[in-house]
Amino acid sequence: MREIQFREALREAMNEEMRENDRIFLIGEEVADYNGAYKVSQGMLAEFGPKRVIDTPIAELGFAGIAVGAAMNGLIPIVEFMTFNFSLVAIDQIINSAAKMNSMTGGQYKCHMVFRGPTGSAGQLGAQHSQNFENWYANTPGLKVVVPSNPYDAKGLLKASIKDGNPIIFMESEQMYGYKGEVPEDPYTIQLGKAHIVKEGTDVTIVSFGKMMLRVYEAEAALTEAGISAEIIDLRTVRPLDHETIINSIKKTNRLVIVEEAWPLASISGEITYQVQRHGFDYLDAPIRRITTKDTPLPYAPTLVEAFLPSVAKIVEAAKSVAYK
């Protein structure tokens, strides 16, 4: 199977859907003439023209509002934020308009649309450009929140998101656009709301999503050397959250470690912990461990950046601490 970059997988997903449906358009900063800040939309202006690949001013609230209005009138916008840190400027349109319109109008108006762009830390970008808001958006009824961890998932999940009919928050790691993986040439979609058991194991379940999956894979290799069999689950979607797959895994392994690139309070890992203790407590043979970022704004110094983030060593230590109980 061919290998393509994460950005190319995203581009293929948008191109395929836009060729099939002329109601779909892409809007955002530098998506057209500049081919996208991360070159995700490279070549799309030439194929689809300026009415369907639209450059905007630096005005996230404005173009998010335009997109919501377009969706209410039957178009299907894909809104690219240069970074989800900038989506905070547009959050009123996302939370109070897109997420609520279907419910508030009794289904008379829908917001069939996708908000997508990079999330998370990407090195020394400072505290205002290195945040994870997956849990913020997942807290909002009316939204679905998708976080792919590899090119195959990126394409299949984005195509499913564009087809879904609901407002989707689609968050891509800023450090993974050049990451390569195998992607079929034939079109395909991946079901939203269903976690993926990447590897089966017997001693401990490790749950994560997005960029942190790369560190989980490294930790799993170290655990295998230590004689610990880890079952690896990639959530893919954090709203809706697939509790069933996690709990069924714990019935087998009896232990759980959750890895998340986010602050600990009110996190996805905190919600998973509650759901497992509510519905799977009798299967646990050890306390649940979770690895999150430090509860501070991201520092700038590279040594502090590494200390701030979940690490392979922290994941291995957590898995060993529960596996040996």
Considering the domain architecture, whether residues 159 and 269 belong to the same structural domain is answered as no
Considering the domain architecture, whether residues 83 and 110 belong to the same structural domain is answered as yes
Of the candidates 133, 156, 182, which is a domain's last residue? 182
> Do the domain assignments include residue 13?
yes
> Do the domain assignments include residue 62?
yes
Considering the domain architecture, whether residues 106 and 219 belong to the same structural domain is answered as no
Considering the domain architecture, whether residues 99 and 225 belong to the same structural domain is answered as no
| Cβ contact 136:171 at 8 Å | no
Using CA atoms, how far apart are residues 181 and 314, in angstroms rounded to an integer? 26
> Do the domain assignments include residue 166?
yes
Considering the domain architecture, whether residues 176 and 246 belong to the same structural domain is answered as no
Considering the domain architecture, whether residues 178 and 271 belong to the same structural domain is answered as no
Domain that includes residue 41, residue range: 3-182
Per-residue pLDDT of the chain (325 residues; tens, 9 = 90+): 899 999 999 999 999 999 999 999 999 999 999 999 999 999 999 999 999 999 999 999 999 999 999 999 999 999 999 999 999 999 999 999 999 999 999 999 999 999 999 999 888 888 888 899 999 999 999 999 999 999 999 999 999 999 999 999 999 999 999 999 999 999 999 999 999 999 999 999 999 999 999 999 999 999 999 999 999 999 999 999 999 999 999 999 999 999 999 999 999 999 999 999 999 999 999 999 999 999 999 999 999 999 999 999 999 999 999 998 7
> Do the domain assignments include residue 187?
no
Considering the domain architecture, whether residues 228 and 261 belong to the same structural domain is answered as yes
pLDDT at 316: 97
Considering the domain architecture, whether residues 232 and 145 belong to the same structural domain is answered as no
Considering the domain architecture, whether residues 178 and 251 belong to the same structural domain is answered as no
Helix (H) or strand (E) holding 119: strand 113-119
Using CA atoms, how far apart are residues 287 and 229, in angstroms rounded to an integer? 18
pLDDT at 1: 84
Using CA atoms, how far apart are residues 89 and 62, in angstroms rounded to an integer? 9
Cβ partners under 8 Å of residue 120, min gap 6: 130, 131, 132, 171, 173, 174, 175, 210, 211, 261
Q: How many CB atoms lie within 10 A of CB 159?
A: 22
* Domain total in the chain: 2
> Do the domain assignments include residue 188?
no
Query: What angle in degrees, to the nearest 10, is found between the helix axes of 6-20 and 151-164?
Result: 30
Considering the domain architecture, whether residues 154 and 203 belong to the same structural domain is answered as no
pLDDT at 125: 87
What CATH code is carried by the domain that includes residue 55?
3.40.50.970
Of the candidates 159, 182, 205, which is a domain's last residue? 182
Could you tell me how many residues make up the chain? 325
Considering the domain architecture, whether residues 214 and 168 belong to the same structural domain is answered as no
Of the candidates 156, 182, 208, which is a domain's last residue? 182
Using CA atoms, how far apart are residues 226 and 244, in angstroms rounded to an integer? 29
> Do the domain assignments include residue 38?
yes
> Do the domain assignments include residue 86?
yes
What CATH code is carried by the domain that includes residue 253?
3.40.50.920
Considering the domain architecture, whether residues 155 and 19 belong to the same structural domain is answered as yes
> Do the domain assignments include residue 35?
yes
- Nearest Cα to 80, choosing from 140, 49, 34, 19? 34
Which residues carry out catalysis? 60, 129
Using CA atoms, how far apart are residues 27 and 25, in angstroms rounded to an integer? 7
